[in-house]
Structure 1
Amino acid sequence: MTSTRVSALLLDLDGTLVDSEPLHRRGYELFFAAKDWDVPDLDMFTGRRALDVFATEPGPWTGLDPQAVLDEVLAHVPDEDPAPVLGARELVLAARSTRTPLAIVTSAGPPWVERSLTSLGLGLDSVDLVVTALDVVAGKPDPEGFALACERLGADPTAAVAAEDSPAGIRAARAAGVRRVMGIATTHGADALLAAGAAEVHADLRPLAPLLGRVSRRP
């Protein structure tokens, strides 16, 4: 057995740091209503880049330009700041105080990251690294984003802790070698998150801060 501290904290954004999924879902609903299209199961979008969904999943958008479809969706998303998930600001500050490398790994773009952090009363300088949809070729559930975060932070993924609210995100972190992926049950039930590979499931982020700086044992 060897002892190790948490090598990095890897946080999803939407549904994990901020409870923004209701805003995004409302945008999709308004978009589909404007198109007079049936509303699909919106869970297919959770945790994934919308461009990937529009490009690969069958639907009324098939054959259309994915970027043009996404632009229309974004025009329908309510222009509101997202609400913080309980414990989000405290977790980021705990990472800073324990000198735990911290990355946001998200399917969103840079402007939404900055706006979301602002809603927490934080700035971009509160995190060490941001990996967005623009930084990867393949989005979640592909592990590229989490692997890139660990590489840039110089962190051992097997000693990292990740937090995700979607099955796609959990699968991505696990595939990148992160063993301790915390499911945050803001948008999906515990059963779905555990089935995707979450080590634990919590209602919010408050249980995560005590993990930072702690020495744990692993094979």
Structure 2
Amino acid sequence: MTRPPTTPAALLLDLDGTLVDSEPLHRRGYADWLAHRGWDVPDLSVFTGRRAEDVFVTEPGPWAGHDPLELLAEVLPFVPDEAPAPVPGARALVLAARSAGVPVAVVTSAGPAWVRLSLQESLSLSDGVDLVVTAEDVVDGKPDPAGFALACSSLGVDPSGAIAVEDSPAGVRAALGAGVGQVYGVTTTHARDVLLAAGALALVDDLTPLPGLVGL
């Protein structure tokens, strides 16, 4: 892995599994909901990095034929609302970008309330980041590139000069589809070969080395 020659135009960060270690909480909630429904529990990694309502529509499962938004409303009370632990290096990465004058956007499949909880309580970023793009801001969720494209256009940056960090193959593909120049994978939720196959430039185990790798 080599250091980019220039400071990035923007830093685009996924939230769940990238900035905060929330996937165990979410998977527990989905498993409890499925058990409550009396449904078999499938491979829950299908939800990682994606909006639940999109999964319900596009992926086979016991939810087939049900209204996706009604199912989403059912799931949410089962997901613990406790603040997730930060991924090591997450807060330092955001602060390094700020210090370098690089705008930071969170591009997530989560909703606004979860973003606020994670940024304020988990990461102690009470003043947030420059931009947040949530599940409510786009018609199509990851792996569709709409979220990353919206982030770049809102920040006024060329996506080819931006850097994205993602933990899921859906997120990696979304960032690349938006034309983001460099996409790093963090191996918190998926195997290394899965992220590389999706197109990640390079992989890290957590965010601690990222400031040095991306020119911050």
TM-score bucket of the superposed structures, by smaller chain = over 0.9
Q: What secondary structure does 1:183 align onto?
A: strand
Q: What secondary structure does 1:126 align onto?
A: coil
- CA gap of 1:212–1:191, structure 2 versus 1, over 3 A, is closer
Partner of 1:51: 53
- CA gap of 1:201–1:212, structure 2 versus 1, over 3 A, is closer
Aligned-partner Cα distance in 2 for 1:13–1:83: 12
Partner of 2:70: 68
* Amino acid across the alignment from 1:112: W
Q: What secondary structure does 1:96 align onto?
A: helix
Contact 1:100 1:213 in 2 (8 A): no
The counterpart of 1:169, out of the listed 165, 168, 171, is: 171
Aligned-partner Cα distance in 1 for 2:25–2:74: 15
Under a length normalisation based on structure 2, what TM-score does the superposition of the two structures give? Answer: 0.94
Partner of 1:140: 142
How far the C-alpha of 1:213 sits from its partner, in A, is 4.9
Contact 2:6 2:215 in 1 (8 A): no
Aligned-partner Cα distance in 2 for 1:41–1:185: 18
How far the C-alpha of 1:184 sits from its partner, in A, is 0.5
Partner of 2:30: 28
Identical-pair percentage? 67
Partner of 2:204: 202
The counterpart of 1:37, out of the listed 36, 39, 62, is: 39
The counterpart of 1:122, out of the listed 122, 125, 144, is: 125
**1:43-101 CA deviation, whole Å, 9 max, x = no partner?**
11110100111122222111211111111111111231100000001011111111101
**1:103-128 CA deviation, whole Å, 9 max, x = no partner?**
000000000000000111112x3311
Partner of 2:156: 154
Unaligned runs of 5+ in 2: none
Aligned-partner Cα distance in 1 for 2:140–2:81: 28
Partner of 1:19: 21
* Amino acid across the alignment from 2:33: F
Partner of 1:191: 193
Partner of 1:217: none
Contact 1:105 1:131 in 2 (8 A): yes
Aligned-partner Cα distance in 2 for 1:213–1:206: 13
How far the C-alpha of 1:183 sits from its partner, in A, is 0.2
Unaligned runs of 5+ in 1: 215-219
Q: What secondary structure does 2:96 align onto?
A: helix
The question of 1:81 aligning with 2:83 is answered yes
Partner of 1:96: 98
The counterpart of 2:11, out of the listed 9, 12, 20, is: 9
Contact 1:94 1:212 in 2 (8 A): no
**1:143-173 CA deviation, whole Å, 9 max, x = no partner?**
0100110111111111111000000000000
Root mean square deviation of aligned Cα: 1.2
